[in-house]
């Protein structure tokens, strides 16, 4: 009987106003159900989930650092050597002798004026011109006086000097022949004219050579020989005289003269002939001190310059033919050649190693996008939090108290609204550049500046809502129960405004990310080596990069667009979900 009764009761139709028919949902669950029915809102959630995973998890998974620079080996046209057509004297002194800079300056003046001697530092120096651009410099010692009376020439020593008969004969012959210099047994003598057909006889010992030519040894074993004083004196004297050989210490050297300023000195004959030195008025030196330039290379440079050629080919020690180019600037020449060198791998195309290629600093673009997303998203949330914090406090106090407090705080808001946003950001960026603020510190400073400059809209929203809520019954009840003012504002009023603030904050996140990207694009935001999506796009600020390297800027632009759309979709979904007039 009881079972039959229970079945009857279960089958009874419930009245429409029966409480058992009403399924009670919490306000939060109602908002959630409305939100998930919005397809655009769900799409926004999916987009943002991908962006957060890409930015915060991608950087952990990526095998590269955001500041890691990649290099490659390639051939580049680099400076290899320098050459100059010599227009100044080059000096070689005898062992144990010196020729100070002041003495060299006075010699240059004497050589220009054609003087046979000059004085410097209390010493008299003789100047013997062998040929144009080649002089012998010696120290002079007065030996005697020479007097000419008609055909009678008398030579008398002075100062205790000794004059041999042979020297007297040579001096007399020089006077009679009208010469002011002569040589005897390798020593140069000068006759300086005085008064009434009188001359001063002085002997000089060669201590230095002054030449416009450069001597380069063919190998290290001949370096000491080429720098030998007697070798240089005999070789260049023979060259200027047009002779084809000279002898030193029983060894005969041959001269292959190509021009007045170019020659090759060799030793031996026939197949055993070995080059010793190259003579030229062109000085060739390597750009890097550690590089040795073979003589055949220097000869090739000299020949190319003499022929006024802009390039030449050279076969190196490995038998490889190298092409060298010459650029001229006045008398200076710079020789370039393609050298295998390690270069920064800039603007590398997408590949297996770098899915989105490399940027202008040789860094992996995808890794930079991951780390840049962290900064862009983090900056958006921090700035919104600062704006909410300041706006809720100012707007809550202003809306609750009203009166002169409201007037004062709203004028303070108007003051902030009158400050131009972007000019202030430009000034702040310039100041941080001037003080060379650390890139990491710069991020937090930018967050603080953007948060302080953007809270006024939230403050006005909170004030307007609280003005309408403070007169309602539940606020009268809080006042009657003696709840303190701060609790009334932040515990009872502000929570009623939060749905609207959440929507506004969500919509603002996209705008803040765009603002950060704009500032970074203008060079006022994040600084190298840190990255944000704006700085990545900034690297494509010229038309050449934009038209040839799409992988530099298009991915960053797509990420910004998707992120902003995601926040906007979520904001629209929250706005509709919090609207009580929406259909369930």
pLDDT at 186: 66
Residues pairing with 358 in the sheet: 364
Q: Is the dihedral of CA 523, 529, 530, 534 positive or negative?
A: positive
* Residue 256, helix vs strand vs coil: strand
* Residue 336, helix vs strand vs coil: strand
Q: How far apart are CA 371 and CA 388, in angstroms?
A: 26
pLDDT in tens, the chain (584 residues): 455 555 545 445 555 455 555 455 566 787 788 888 889 999 999 999 999 999 999 989 999 999 899 999 888 888 889 888 888 899 999 888 889 999 999 999 999 888 888 888 888 888 888 888 899 898 877 788 888 877 788 888 887 777 888 888 888 888 888 888 888 876 778 888 877 778 888 777 788 999 999 888 888 888 899 999 989 999 999 998 889 899 988 899 999 988 888 888 999 887 778 888 888 888 888 888 778 888 888 888 888 888 888 899 988 888 888 889 998 876 689 999 888 788 899 999 999 999 999 998 999 999 999 999 999 999 999 999 999 999 989 998 998 888 899 999 999 999 988 888 888 888 888 888 888 888 889 999 999 999 998 899 999 988 988 888 877 777 777 777 778 888 887 787 878 888 888 888 888 888 888 888 888 888 788 888 888 898 888 888 788 888 899 999 999 999 999 999 999 899 888 888 876 555 54
- Are 379 and 372 in contact by the 8 Å Cβ rule? The answer is no
Beta-carbon contacts of 491 under 8 Å, excluding residues fewer than 6 positions away, are: 483
The owner of tokens 């939230």 is 458
pLDDT at 11: 47
Which is it for strands 71-85 and 282-286: parallel, antiparallel or unpaired? antiparallel
pLDDT at 25: 54
Strands of 321-329's sheet in order across: 282-286, 71-85, 332-344, 321-329, 311-315
Beta-strand runs (E) in 158-197: 181-184, 187-193
The tokens for 93 are 């002194």
List the chain domain ranges.
27-59+372-578, 90-211, 215-343
Distances (CA, A) of 97 to 21, 166, 478: 122, 28, 108
Distances (CA, A) of 483 to 225, 253, 354, 478, 526: 107, 116, 62, 6, 47
Q: How many beta carbons lie within 10 A of that of residue 131, not counting itself?
A: 13
The owner of tokens 């050629």 is 309
Q: How far apart are CA 522 and CA 429, in angstroms?
A: 10
Q: How many beta carbons lie within 10 A of that of residue 23, not counting itself?
A: 5
Beta-strand runs (E) in 287-410: 311-315, 321-329, 332-344
Query: For residue 316, what is the DSSP state?
Result: -
Q: How far apart are CA 468 and CA 320, in angstroms?
A: 89
Which is it for strands 198-211 and 187-193: parallel, antiparallel or unpaired? antiparallel
End-to-end CA distance of the chain: 43
Beta-carbon contacts of 36 under 8 Å, excluding residues fewer than 6 positions away, are: 42
Distances (CA, A) of 213 to 232, 236, 261, 282: 11, 9, 7, 8
Q: How far apart are CA 81 and CA 289, in angstroms?
A: 10
* Residue 69, helix vs strand vs coil: strand
What does pTM read for this prediction? 0.60
Give CA angle at 166 (162, 170), nearest 5°. Answer: 105
**Would you list the DSSP string of 427-456?**
HHHHHHHHTT--HHHHHHHHHHHHHHHS-H
- Are 488 and 479 in contact by the 8 Å Cβ rule? The answer is yes
pLDDT at 223: 86
Distances (CA, A) of 494 to 65, 407, 548: 44, 20, 53
The answer to whether domain 27-59+372-578 has CATH 1.10.3720.10 is yes
Helices and strands in the chain, H and E counts:
20, 18
């Amino acid at each position: 009987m009881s079972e039959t009764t229970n079945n009857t009761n279960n089958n009874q139709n419930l009245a429409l106003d029966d409480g058992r028919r009403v399924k009670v949902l919490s306000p939060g669950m109602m908002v959630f159900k409305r939100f998930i029915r919005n397809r655009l809102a769900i799409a926004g959630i999916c987009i943002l989930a991908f962006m957060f995973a890409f930015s915060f998890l991608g950087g952990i998974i990526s095998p590269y650092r955001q500041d890691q620079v990649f290099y490659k080996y390639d051939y580049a046209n680099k400076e290899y050597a320098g050459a100059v057509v010599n227009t100044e004297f080059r000096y070689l002194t005898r062992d144990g002798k010196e020729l100070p800079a002041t003495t060299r300056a006075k010699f240059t003046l004497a050589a220009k004026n054609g003087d046979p001697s000059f004085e410097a530092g209390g010493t008299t120096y003789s100047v013997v011109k062998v040929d144009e651009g080649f002089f012998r410099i010696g120290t002079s010692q007065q030996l005697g006086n020479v007097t000419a009376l008609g055909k009678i020439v008398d030579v008398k020593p002075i100062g205790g000097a000794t004059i041999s008969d042979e020297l007297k004969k040579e001096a007399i012959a020089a006077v009679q022949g009208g010469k002011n210099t002569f040589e005897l047994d390798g020593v140069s003598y000068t006759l300086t004219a005085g008064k009434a057909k009188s001359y001063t006889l002085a002997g000089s010992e060669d201590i230095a050579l002054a030449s416009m030519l450069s001597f380069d040894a063919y190998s290290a074993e001949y370096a000491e020989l080429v720098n030998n004083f007697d070798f240089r004196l005999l070789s260049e004297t023979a060259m200027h005289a047009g002779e084809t050989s000279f002898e030193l210490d029983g060894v005969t050297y041959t001269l292959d003269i190509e021009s007045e300023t170019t020659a090759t000195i060799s030793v031996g004959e026939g197949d055993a002939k070995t080059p010793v030195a190259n003579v030229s008025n062109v000085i060739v030196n390597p750009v890097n001190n550690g590089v040795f330039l073979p003589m055949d290379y220097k000869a090739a440079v000299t020949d190319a310059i003499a022929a006024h050629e802009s390039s030449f080919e050279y076969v190196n020690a490995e038998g490889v033919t190298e092409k060298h180019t010459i650029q001229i600037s006045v008398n200076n020449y710079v020789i370039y050649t393609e050298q295998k060198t390690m270069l920064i791998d800039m603007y590398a195309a997408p590949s297996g190693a770098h899915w989105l290629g490399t940027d202008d600093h040789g860094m992996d673009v995808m890794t930079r996008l991951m780390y840049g997303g962290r900064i862009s998203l983090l900056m958006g949330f921090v700035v919104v939090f600062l704006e909410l914090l300041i706006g809720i406090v100012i707007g809550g106090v202003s809306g609750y108290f009203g009166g002169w407090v409201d007037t004062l705080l709203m004028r303070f808001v108007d003051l902030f609204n009158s400050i131009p946003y972007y000019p202030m950001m430009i000034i702040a960026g310039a100041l941080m550049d001037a003080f060379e603020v650390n890139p990491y510190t710069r991020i937090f400073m930018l967050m603080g500046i953007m948060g302080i400059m953007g809270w006024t809209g939230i403050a006005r929203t909170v004030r307007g809502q609280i003005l309408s809520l403070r007169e309602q019954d539940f606020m009268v009840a809080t006042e009657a129960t003696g709840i303190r003012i701060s609790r009334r504002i932040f515990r009872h009023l502000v929570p009623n405004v939060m749905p609207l603030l959440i929507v506004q904050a969500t919509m603002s996140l996209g705008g803040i990310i765009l603002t950060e990207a704009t500032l970074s694009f203008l060079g006022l935001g994040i600084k190298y080596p840190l990255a944000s999506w704006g700085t990545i796009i900034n690297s494509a600020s010229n038309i050449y990069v934009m038209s040839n390297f799409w992988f530099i800027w298009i991915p960053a632009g797509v990420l910004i667009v998707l992120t902003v759309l995601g926040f906007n979709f979520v904001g629209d979904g929250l706005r509709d979900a919090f609207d009580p007039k929406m259909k369930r």
